[in-house]
Structure 1
Amino acid sequence: MNSVAMWEVIVLVILLILVLVWILAVRTQTPLRRPNDQLPKHDYEDVRFQSGEKRCCGWFIPSRELQLKERAAAPTIIIVHGWGSNRAYSLRYVDPLHEAGFSVFLFDVRCHGDSEDISASSSYTFRDDLISAVHYIRSRSDVDLEAIGVLGHSLGGLGTILALDQTLPVQAVVTDSMPIRLKTVLQSECSRLHIPMFPLAYMVIFIWFLRARMDYRAYRKMNVIDVLNTNARGAQIPVFFVHSRHDRFIPPAELQYIIDHVQTPVDHVFLDINGHSCSEQDHHFWGHVMPFFRRHLQGIR
């Protein structure tokens, strides 16, 4: 084989690798779209609201006191699902909140459930869609504007924390099984797709930022620890963190990292349930989350 032919082979191999990496990046940045195959068992209202130029879909479940016309506005919890999930899967949180007197708002982040598509989803998609959801909720006359909480699962929790840096007008935040480091998110996706982290997976990050039109320098500035420290010094929105010691998808080391690096005491609980999407089944979950919401959302009776 002459030198020209050898270089042609090398170039073809490099191009093939780049194409494979691009396909991998697109696949890992495209969440599984699950249908909303359940409906709320409580009375609910179908909702549509705008996030950017796209439409998001949700359910507003009014509190029993609203349904009975015993009050004009009620404390409300917004639930943000995780990557590849939807509002139907978030119904697992609803019953205890509804029984406690809260209205509940569930919605599909763009590229999930019944909401519209965008070219590339990310933690910033979750952040921006939550901000739009909060603005929608605050436009309703049946919502107590001084008693709005957010419960975010997994990447929905990360999007919620990132939203704190955008003057999020809520009074309490709970995160459940939240990742905070890009490496952890990448590892979980590689595990889901059964591919090795090294070497191709690290090349994927560059394409993630390129497709999402994200500036890496701006990303580095939006560090979760920095956001939490800034919140503690300024807005002081109470945050409560939940994670299971036996979560094999997003390891509990993510919460421990927060505890070790945030400058103020971190309100949290470690659970001992097996799994990533089942914290609410542990009685310690509601034993901590419900008093937290009651303490900070004063409109609840």
Structure 2
Amino acid sequence: MIATTAPLRILKAPPSILKVDYEKVEFLTSDGLTLRGWFFPAADPAAPAILYAPATAKDQRQGLSLVRPLHEAGYHVLLFSYRGSGESDGNRFVFSYGARESQDVDAAVRYLVETRGITCIGGIGHSAGAVALILSAARNPNLHAVVAAAPFPSLEDAWRVNRPTFFPPPLYEQVMRLAEWRKGFTRDEVRPLDVVHRLSPRPILFVFGQADRRIPPDQAKRLYEAAEEPKDIIWLPEASHEQVRSPGLDFLMPQLVDFFRRNLHSNATCFHRQSIP
């Protein structure tokens, strides 16, 4: 059992609670929206950066409890909110479960490379944020190491598992089709299962909860098996979907810091700019 409550209190706090220097930042997406967030600079300007991709209905504050251990390990940290979330531009009713949000991750990486001059970048994401991170990294060579906490293998899988029992499958399918139309995306855009192999030879670390009813173990194993080496997986024995994020990731920070140290600092390709979508 993971037992800690401190991270739960920090999730909705202002960044000043950390007593770590930070800057309010903003940057553009490829389709012209302004995203906003907080940048916590490392003491060494040449240090790698870690960005956090929030889960469904969460903004940049969901990453606050991860900032201090990453900052103390010597990393720049970027927290940002997707389009339509937090103080970022956009319609708050068009969350697309990773499709458009992966483009926002692209924009965050582009900001770190082009504005901050940082070319060695890792990412941590939870749930749909982990999906967005995988989708972005599959096309974005400047994401060099990924921690994916409780991602689903496809939106089709996630919808099927989470269908309310009172919804007949045909009616539920119509509701989901309406959601795709209203939000302007298709489920085929949200299939990390099909693209996760493209991260190789960059490493990915999966974190799953064995008590997660939203992403059951069989789905987790399918996604892990679809990834190519180097890859690893951590199972949190009693963690639900939300507990994978907190307190799960907070509890695992020593392992996550070690993962980034092993895979960013020794990665020569980190320090060369690549083209960014």
Q: TM over 0.5, yes or no?
A: yes
Q: Quick one: which of 176, 179, 200 aligns to 1:208?
A: 179
Return the offset for 1:197. 5.8
Q: For residues 13-72 of structure 1, give each alpha carbon's deviation from its aligned partner in whole angstroms, at most 9, with x where no partner exists.
A: xxxxxxxxxxxxxxxxxxxxxxx9522221110011112222111000112x2xxxxx33
Q: Quick one: which of 12, 21, 25 aligns to 1:43?
A: 21
Matched with 2:49 is 76
1:290 aligned onto 2:257: yes
**Is 1:45–1:59's contact at 8 Å kept on the other side of the alignment?**
yes
Return the offset for 1:263. 5.6
Q: Quick one: which of 130, 133, 141 aligns to 2:105?
A: 130
Distance verdict in 2 for CA 1:91–1:188, change over 3 Å: farther
Distance verdict in 2 for CA 1:299–1:115, change over 3 Å: farther
Letter of the 1:196 partner, please give it: F
Matched with 2:273 is none
Task: Give me the TM-score of the superposition, normalised by structure 2.
Answer: 0.79
Q: Following superposition of structure 1 onto structure 2, how do residues 116-127 of structure 1 map, counting pairs within 5 Å?
A: 116-118=89-91, 120-122=94-96, 123-127=98-102
1:281 aligned onto 2:260: no
Q: What is the aligned-residue identity percentage?
A: 27
Tell me the secondary structure at the aligned position of residue 210 of structure 2: strand
Task: Give me the TM-score of the superposition, normalised by structure 1.
Answer: 0.73
Letter of the 1:47 partner, please give it: V
The count of residues paired between Structure 1 and Structure 2 equals 249
Distance verdict in 2 for CA 1:205–1:284, change over 3 Å: same
Distance 2:224 2:138 in 1: 19
**Is 1:44–1:61's contact at 8 Å kept on the other side of the alignment?**
yes
Tell me the secondary structure at the aligned position of residue 115 of structure 2: coil
Higher relative contact order, structure no. (Cα contacts within 8 Å, ≥ 6 residues apart): 2
Distance 1:49 1:296 in 2: 27
Tell me the secondary structure at the aligned position of residue 24 of structure 2: strand
Distance 2:193 2:153 in 1: 9
Matched with 1:33 is none
1:245 aligned onto 2:223: no
Distance 2:39 2:171 in 1: 42
Distance 1:129 1:250 in 2: 23
Q: Quick one: which of 195, 216, 220 aligns to 1:255?
A: 220
Task: Pick the structure with greater CA Rg.
Answer: 1
Distance 1:137 1:226 in 2: 27
**Is 2:193–2:223's contact at 8 Å kept on the other side of the alignment?**
yes
Return the offset for 1:167. 2.7
Moved more, 248-257 or 79-88: 248-257
Q: Quick one: which of 261, 264, 267 aligns to 2:232?
A: 267
Q: Following superposition of structure 1 onto structure 2, how do residues 7-26 of structure 1 map, counting pairs within 5 Å?
A: none
Letter of the 2:152 partner, please give it: P
Q: Following superposition of structure 1 onto structure 2, how do residues 28-107 of structure 1 map, counting pairs within 5 Å?
A: 37-40=12-15, 41=18, 42-51=20-29, 52-63=31-42, 65=43, 71-107=44-80
Letter of the 2:197 partner, please give it: N
Distance verdict in 2 for CA 1:96–1:137, change over 3 Å: same
Distance verdict in 2 for CA 1:284–1:256, change over 3 Å: farther
**Is 1:271–1:285's contact at 8 Å kept on the other side of the alignment?**
no
Distance 2:148 2:240 in 1: 15
Q: For residues 221-280 of structure 1, give each alpha carbon's deviation from its aligned partner in whole angstroms, at most 9, with x where no partner exists.
A: x74233122333xxx221111111122333333321123444656411111243323335
Matched with 2:272 is none
Q: Which sections of structure 2, spanning at least 5 residues, go unmatched?
A: 1-10, 268-277
1:180 aligned onto 2:153: yes
**Is 1:242–1:285's contact at 8 Å kept on the other side of the alignment?**
no
